[in-house]
């Protein structure tokens, strides 16, 4: 008999990502990355042809009411202005962006409330399978991560 017993493997919960898995933008990912979220947001708006707007990076906090739940959250004014502009995207924005950038825009326009791959795909006019394969890899793009409840 060996002195090295076999390791005990506990029941590990492996979470399967499907078309019904919800995704959101993980702001913690942005804080830990070397990228700057505000610079990225301004760049996205300029790429989408919204470069004539004035964004005050020092805007004060705003109370934002979720129309679905009635929940009030405080967001900084910059985030609110950006979210407002993303919610008014032109119909062809997905064709002028990479898939990852388009998904990011859809999530921002939705106030970063989690959406399923299927819901995202519908808004982009793309296949849910393509969206899922892009977001389900080992690499995290723009902080877009699955939400497991």
Alpha carbon 29 to its chain centroid, in Å, reads: 11
- Please tell me the predicted confidence (pLDDT) of residue 147: 92
Segment 39-66, tens digit of pLDDT: 888 787 777 666 555 555 566 777 878 7
Distance CA 74, CA 66 (A): 11
Q: What is the pLDDT of residue 100?
A: 93
pLDDT at 55: 57
Residues of the chain where predicted confidence (pLDDT) is lower than 50: 12-13
The answer to whether the Cα torsion of 48, 52, 58, 63 is positive or negative is: negative
Q: What is the pTM of this model?
A: 0.75
CB burial of 30-55 (b: ≥16 within 10 Å; e: otherwise) equals eeeeeeebeeebbebbeebebeeeee
């Amino acid at each position: 008999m060996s002195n090295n017993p076999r390791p005990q493997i506990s029941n590990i919960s492996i979470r399967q990502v499907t078309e019904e898995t919800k995704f959101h933008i993980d702001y913690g990912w942005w804080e830990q990355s070397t990228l700057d979220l505000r610079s990225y947001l301004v760049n996205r708006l300029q790429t989408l042809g919204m470069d004539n707007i004035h964004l005050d990076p020092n805007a004060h906090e705003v109370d934002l009411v979720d129309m679905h739940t009635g929940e009030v959250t405080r967001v900084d004014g910059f985030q609110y202005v950006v979210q407002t502009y993303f919610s008014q995207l032109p119909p062809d924005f997905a064709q002028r962006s990479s898939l990852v950038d388009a998904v990011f825009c859809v999530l921002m326009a939705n106030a970063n409330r989690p959406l399923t791959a299927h819901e995202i795909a519908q808004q982009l006019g793309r296949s849910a399978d393509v969206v899922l394969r892009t977001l389900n890899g080992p690499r995290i793009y723009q902080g877009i991560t699955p939400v497991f409840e």
